[in-house]
A and B are shown apart, each in its own frame.
Chain A
Amino acid sequence: MFRYILRRIVLTVPTFVALMFITFVAIRLVPGDPVEVRVGEHGISPERLAMFRRQLGLDQPVWKQFLDYVWRLLHGDFGTSLSTSNPVLREFLTLFPATLELSFAAMLIAVIIGVPAGAIAAVKRGSAYDHILMAASVTGFSMPIFWWGLLLIMLFSERWGLTPVSGRIDLIKYYFEPVTGFMLIDAALSDQKGALLDALHHLALPAFVLGTLPLAVIARMTRSSMLEVLNEDYIRAARAKGLSPFRVVGLHALRNAMIPVVTVIGLSVGALLSGAVLTETIFSWPGVGKWLIESIFRRDYPALQGGVMLISSVVILVSLAVDILYSVINPRIRHAR
């Protein structure tokens, strides 16, 4: 097992190298000059253009730019954003907590609703509840997230006034210095009355929109793996022994059914971040997804490069962790690969 884990870790190294290469090449292929793009209708003189190129190292041969890039990455330098002149790493770290908070809340909603919903559907197989849940689940993962978000804003925020439209907290009522960057934690630490509740209130709708897709998938996964487990001999035996249905389903079956569900959760990280891009755009949520898209449109090479590197690294590391976790839970997988 130790060897498997080691092997798995070593295997991520070439992935990282390939990632560095691909981000570097891809960004160089993008048309549009990173200096030109910042100029307004006014234009810029050729001499000054050349000067900025030199400053950015854009006049160097491409291979040298690449080596330079790798060298700096290895030293934790992800470059400096062209549009804000801030280090990319710092920008990423100030925005990432917002994305993390949103994604985490979305996943939490998905698991808390999805697992019991799916488990109940499995137990009541064929019932009206089961059919409705499965129909809802198919609808859930057929939903274009941008449209879903707009629709819910239109209904919940504008028509019924139940949730705030955008933002992370009421800016008129509450003010405190960000400590962790996680609004919920900062609000709880701030000892301003109602701040935490208000932050939760702001988080609810975007988290639900982002959580819809994983919710649909998890409910479905739980149901099908639960069905399989319920058919296993040991569950039948437990039932025959006269254990209460709650104990059988709740303790034995659900626990075993959770294994594939955990994998789905781990594998959803990439999908979740993709969804976060659109969710953050729609809700004006100040996270890394929105920042990345804006960097693409601004041709902010360093921000784009650094941002893609950092986000992908998160995804790679999470799937590494999930793989290792999975191999610990389920020894069979190590030999199957």
Chain B
Amino acid sequence: MPGKDGADLASTTALPEPLVFAQPPDFAAFWSIFRENRGAVFGLIVLSLVVLCAIFASFIAPYSPVEQFRDAIRAPPVWAGGAWKFVFGTDGLGRDILSRLIYGARISLFIGLSVMGLSSLIGVALGLSAAYFGGGVDIAISRLTDVIWALPSLVLAILIIAIIGPSLFNTIIAITIVYMPSFVRLMRASAMAELSKDYVTAARAVGVGPLRLMLSTVLPNCLAPYIVQAAIGVSSAILEAAGLGFLGLGAQPPTPEWGAMLADAREFIRSDPWIVTLPGLAIVVTVIAINLTGDGLRDALDPKMRRS
């Protein structure tokens, strides 16, 4: 699956050399570095547009995403000789594709952000515990992540969906479980590197409690690579959700999820190709925008990893 590989990219490059970060950079410095990366700025602009679409969907979209225009089933888009009434045409049930794509942004971003939020939280909790307690806890957590890691991500996600049933919410759960290991591993590795440093030994010596030590001292210092990983995680989650939607195991009808829209329309790939092409394009554009922004974040937060 594309996602996991993207995640691999970040984790493998970040793992061997723990980062040195005395202080989090301030925003102005961050922005001046971020601005240098033209791709990232472009990505951020596109991403902002997608986010705006998602937030203001009900104002921007010309129609309701579920309204069926029975007299305009599979109307072609404007550039294929269609009317301006349906700019991007309509789908197999006569629903306006533009409206569905706009509302779909909401669904996809929601999935991406929820997965990122959930798996980072779990990642912090498990990763820090493994690093701090070591021994049995570490082994148990590491084995768990190893097993999840060994299963091809899509197969595992499908297996989970098969157990808990397909729905938008369950998609989030399944993908969270699939992506959790990369967060746990990253957090564990950076935390272990931090724990061996002098300042931690010093803090321990003056009697700082374990919870406080982990959360207020170690965690902030491991955060930079983690944020980069999380940013990339959003795009991976969106791709994975689209893959599940494509197999009919994601959000259920009439939810306008992009992957499901694509799968629903697959039979029209020859006769009315735009119904298939447009949702795919929406996925690609959004995911590229997030990945470019993620690159910029990496440059700005993590000077060692800069693209030079």
Contact = CB atoms under 8 A, between A and B. Distances in A.
B9 A217 contact: yes
B2 A213 contact: yes
Given A30-B162, A144-B283, A308 B5 contact: no
A147 B163 contact: no
B137 interface: no
B150 A150 contact: no
Contacts of B39: 134-135, 138
A224 B12 CA distance: 13
Contacts of B165: 31
B234 to A, nearest CB: 12
A268 B273 contact: no
Contacts of B266: 150
Interface residues of B, number: 53
A139 B153 CA distance: 21
A312 B242 CA distance: 23
Interface in B260-308: 262, 266, 269-270, 273, 276-277, 280, 283-284, 287-288, 291-292, 295, 307-308
B143 to A, nearest CB: 5
Contact of A333 (B16, B146, B153, B158): B16
Nearest to A304: B159
A213 B153 CA distance: 15
A204 B139 CA distance: 43
B308 A227 contact: yes
Interface stretch (A15-23, A39-47, A75-83, A191-199): A15-23
A30 B150 CA distance: 20
Interface string A144-157: 11110011001000
Contact of A142 (B143, B151, B153, B284): B284
Interface in B231-282: 235, 239, 242-243, 246-247, 259, 262, 266, 269-270, 273, 276-277, 280
Interface string A3-25: 00000000000110011001000
Nearest to B11: A267
A316 B155 CA distance: 15
Contacts of B13: 221, 224, 260
Given A31-B163, A260-B12, A293-B247, A150 B269 contact: yes
A38 interface: no
A145 B150 contact: no
A171 interface: no
A277 interface: yes
Interface string B69-109: 00000000000000000000000000000000000000000
Interface in A307-331: 308, 311-313, 315-316, 319
Given A144-B2, A147-B262, A213-B2, A270 B152 contact: yes
Given A144-B283, A271-B4, A30 B163 contact: yes
B151 A18 contact: no
A296 B159 contact: yes
Contacts of B287: 142, 144
B110 interface: no
A95 interface: no
Residue of B5, B149, B243, B276 with most partner-chain A CB within 10 A = B5
A271 B150 contact: no
Contacts of B116: none
Interface in A180-207: none
Nearest to A269: B152
A26 B156 CA distance: 10
A65 interface: no
A248 interface: no
Nearest to A299: B162
26 contacts: A26-B163, A27-B159, A29-B163, A138-B291, A141-B291, A142-B287, A144-B242, A144-B243, A146-B243, A150-B280, A217-B8, A231-B308, A267-B8, A268-B8, A270-B150, A271-B2, A271-B153, A273-B152, A296-B158, A304-B159, A308-B151, A311-B151, A315-B149, A315-B150, A319-B150, A333-B16
Given A260-B12, A264-B9, 7 more contacts: A15-B143, A144-B246, A147-B283, A270-B150, A270-B151, A274-B4, A289-B152
Nearest first, the 5 closest Cβ-Cβ pairs linking A and B are A147-B280, A274-B1, A142-B287, A271-B5, A274-B152
Interface of A: 14-15, 18-19, 22, 26-27, 29-31, 125, 134-135, 138-139, 141-147, 150-151, 154, 158, 213-214, 217, 220-221, 224, 227, 231, 260, 263-264, 267-268, 270-271, 273-278, 281, 289, 292-293, 296, 304, 308, 311-313, 315-316, 319, 332-333, 336
